[in-house]
């Protein structure tokens, strides 16, 4: 049994589904964007009342059994790859307005942004000249940029390294984790590759700090190491200057590296920048006043107690807070959306640099996680399919948390997505109107 119902502009319809003898599914197609919504369960009944998820023209497709429409590159990929967690109970979908897409700093990638006390965003890029530079012109291994202004009219400046830099870069490396606390910037720095391939982005993660908004940086005399199964960390971002934080702790997320079968003398760059399978992410916390004082101040999540509260311990006792058998990327982002009251985690799955995006949300830094988006070929028809990093700068969230700016970057080899990209979007929430899109009597 199959039904297709067209809704040109809202309304409801009561549909006789008495021929339905076994559970089925319903999918909504938004006509203007050609995007499929996530599946909903349809149980056998005499009738069902249908109403589109939101305004505009929609088609509802009801199918008996488990058959699903094939969708397109912008749809969720649950048809072919199973997401690791159930669907979000808060966010039903993400909508992007590609007419707002902006691209700057061609040839420079990464740019995880932190909202500082001076009301500007700061973030690190890699292997390029930053804003106003190219892949070669002004190229540095690691640079820090300042982004000023609102989401619709911002400007970027090279604070530390890059083309026409305000200050020279002091050391090499890469970073996907920055935060501002009490006017001090902190960023996780990982090494660049050595010529013999024995040192990589994975070898260690060392914190650096700047007390002058990125003008100068000082590295810590301690680090976390690949041998501890901890690589390329990020930091959960809250509001301006860490306002609105959950508590007095700073939360750090580490990728668990895949166990490698090839011998260690194989050139590592070819195998390191991969999706790590099985995917595991570890969580550490440290008091915000002790973030730079030493690794012994960091406590790792070790599981939940019988009351569901988190337990904390040493690095050797750590347990993952996030798992995906399809893998996690070699970098990620985490931020808190106060309007929604949700922590948002973004990372890759399945294969790197293919636009395979997973977006997950949770009520706490340690979970439990649910799935907002889990797609293949993110950006198809709009940008090249080589993205590997996405983040939600907290400065550019609307007060209610529904509207956002998504920053992203990719592996364009100096071209296209190898740059600083932004696109405006909105979260579509579940049951916004007070009634579900499908109602069985």
Per-residue model confidence as pLDDT tens digits over 293-306: 999 999 999 999 99
Counting Cα atoms < 13 Å in the Cβ hemisphere of 407 gives 31
What percent of the chain is predicted at pLDDT more than 70? 90
Residue 331: pLDDT band (50, 70, 90) is very high
Span 91-138, pLDDT tens digits: 999 999 999 999 999 999 999 999 999 999 999 999 999 999 999 999
Q: Looking at the predicted structure, is the pLDDT value of residue 19 above 70?
A: yes
- Position 79 pLDDT exceeds 80: no
Average pLDDT of the chain, as a whole number: 90
Domain ranges of the chain: 2-72, 98-429
Radius of gyration of the chain (CA): 23
The CATH code for residues 98-429 is 2.115.10.20
% of the chain exceeding 90 in pLDDT = 73
Query: At 372, is the pLDDT very low, low, confident or very high (cuts 50, 70, 90)?
Result: very high
Choose the weakest-confidence range: 41-55, 341-355, 378-392.
Answer: 41-55
Give the pLDDT score at 152: 97
- 48 versus 260: the higher-pLDDT residue is 48
What pLDDT was estimated at residue 66?
A: 54
148-157 contacts at long range (C-beta below 8 A, 24 or more positions apart): 148/120, 148/121, 150/396, 151/393, 151/396, 151/405, 151/422, 151/424, 152/100, 152/424, 154/422, 155/131, 156/104, 156/105, 156/130, 156/131, 156/420, 157/131
Task: Using pLDDT thresholds of 50, 70 and 90, give the confidence band for residue 266.
Answer: very low
At 2 the pLDDT is 81
């Amino acid at each position: 049994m199959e039904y297709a119902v067209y809704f040109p502009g809202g309304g409801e319809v009561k549909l006789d589904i008495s021929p339905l003898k076994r559970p089925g599914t319903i999918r909504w197609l938004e006509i203007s964007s050609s995007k499929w919504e996530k599946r909903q369960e349809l149980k056998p009944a005499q009738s069902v009342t249908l109403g589109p998820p939101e305004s505009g023209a929609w088609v509802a497709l009801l199918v008996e059994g488990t058959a699903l429409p094939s969708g397109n590159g912008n749809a969720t990929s649950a048809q072919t790859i199973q997401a690791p967690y159930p669907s979000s109970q808060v966010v039903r979908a993400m909508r992007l307005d590609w007419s707002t897409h902006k691209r700057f700093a061609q040839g420079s990638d990464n740019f995880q942004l932190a909202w500082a006390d001076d009301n500007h965003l700061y973030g690190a890029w890699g292997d390029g000249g930053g804003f106003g530079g190219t892949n070669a012109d002004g190229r540095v291994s690691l640079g820090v940029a300042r982004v000023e202004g609102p989401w619709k009219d911002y400007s970027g400046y090279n604070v530390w390294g890059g083309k026409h830099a305000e200050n020279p870069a002091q050391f090499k490396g890469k970073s996907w984790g920055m935060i501002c606390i009490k006017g001090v910037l902190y960023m996780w720095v990982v090494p660049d590759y050595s010529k013999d391939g024995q040192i990589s982005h994975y070898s260690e993660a060392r914190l650096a700090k700047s007390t002058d908004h990125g003008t100068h940086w000082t590295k810590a005399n301690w680090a976390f190491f690949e041998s501890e199964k901890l690589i390329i960390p990020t930091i959960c971002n809250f509001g301006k200057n860490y306002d609105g934080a959950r508590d007095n702790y700073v939360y750090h997320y580490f990728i668990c590296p895949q166990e490698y079968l090839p011998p260690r003398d194989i050139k590592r760059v070819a195998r390191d920048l991969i999706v790590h399978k099985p995917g595991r992410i570890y969580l550490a916390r440290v008091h915000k006043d002790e973030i730079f004082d030493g690794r012994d101040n960091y406590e790792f999540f070790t599981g939940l107690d019988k009351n569901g509260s988190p337990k904390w311990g040493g690095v050797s006792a750590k347990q993952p807070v996030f798992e995906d058998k399809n893998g996690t990327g070699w970098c990620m982002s985490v931020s808190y959306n106060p309007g929604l009251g949700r922590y948002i985690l973004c990372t890759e799955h399945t294969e790197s640099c293919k636009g395979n995006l997973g977006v997950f949300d949770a009520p706490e830094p340690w979970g439990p996680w649910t799935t907002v988006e889990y797609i293949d070929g993110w950006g198809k028809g709009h940008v090249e399919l080589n993205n590997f990093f996405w983040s939600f700068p907290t400065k550019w969230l609307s007060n209610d948390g529904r509207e956002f700016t998504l920053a992203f970057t990719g592996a364009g080899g100096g071209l296209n997505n190898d740059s600083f990209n932004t696109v405006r979007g909105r979260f579509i929430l579940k049951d916004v109107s007070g009634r579900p899109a499908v109602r069985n009597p």
